[in-house]
Amino acid sequence: MESSGRIAQRFAQRKSEHRTALVAYLTAGDPHPERTPALALALERGGADVLELGVPFSDPIADGPVIQQASDRALKAGTDVAAVLEIAREIRRESQIPLVLFSYLNPLLSYGFERLAHDARMSGVDGVLLTDVSVEEAGQPVAQLRADGLDTIFLAAPTSTERRLKLVAEYSSGFVYVVSRTGVTGERASLAAGVEPLCRRLRQWTDKPLAVGFGVSTREHVDALGSYADGAVVGSAIMRIVDAESAADDLEERLESFLAELTRRRGASAGEPRSAK
């Protein structure tokens, strides 16, 4: 089955506009599953081009304290894979933003890959990002997910060998997630020095969009990435706001404003071109 093409089309659109695509991460179910769709739509209004819905997991080893705590709150609120797929359905009723499930392997294995592939597709999900799957052993899940038209996205890290980068490029569709530095997710004052060389190494193996994450949190980061990558992934900075303002009635407006600052889309409606860099 062919993919929806929404992810590739969005990156192609931003490239044609000489813009850096903004991939926004949101832990599904934090502070509560019923509120996540509204938060997602607020991120889109602020300028998000692609939305990653994080599937909460009890042992998120690649994530820093902000997202670890968000995952814990989401689990306590009763968020599981089925709830995340329902959240995706709610978002899809209102929006055509590309949706990616961001997940560790264990919750998806428990749900069942064949079932997941079908249900995710029916929920309007466009792709699945597998954070802790060894790309050398990814053939079967890739086949199952792509059979239902889902893009598969893998991580390329600074420590990856050339062989692994080649496999990441081969098995990824939609985009390749470039990890800017070793360690866990979290906000940083500056981008890691090794991320540009890593992107250039990947360019030897693929012309698919490259989106850089881990430590991206400011407009300056997004601007800097635009010279050698296609997209910027912002996660911890978003979830820090959710954590601090979860009880606020205007949380949606605060998230929209933060994304607008990153993308300079103040006053623009979703879908309108962003102002030039």
Question: What DSSP designation does 194 have?
Answer: T
Cα–Cα distance for residue pair 133/156, rounded to 1 Å: 12
Yes or no: say if 168 and 176 are a contact pair by the CB < 8 Å rule: yes
Residue 52 annotated among the catalytic residues of the structure: yes
Parallel, antiparallel or unpaired: strands 155-156 and 176-179: parallel
Instruction: Give the C-alpha distances (Å, rounded to integers) separating 259 from 127, 184, 226, 263.
Output: 22, 22, 17, 6
At which residue do the structure tokens 């739509």 appear?
41
30, 35, 40, 41 alpha-carbon torsion, rounded to 10°: -170
- Could you count the other beta carbons within 10 Å of the beta carbon of residue 28? 31
Which residue is catalytic, options 44, 49, 52, 243? Answer: 52
- Judged by DSSP in three states, 17 sits in coil
Which residue is catalytic, options 49, 63, 90, 243? Answer: 63
Cα–Cα distance for residue pair 107/58, rounded to 1 Å: 9
Yes or no: say if 38 and 246 are a contact pair by the CB < 8 Å rule: no
At which residue do the structure tokens 């949606």 appear?
252
Cα–Cα distance for residue pair 273/115, rounded to 1 Å: 37
Maximum Cα–Cα distance across the chain:
49
Which ranges constitute the DSSP H helices of 65-209? 65-76, 81-94, 105-111, 113-122, 139-147, 162-171, 195-202
Residues labelled catalytic: 52, 63
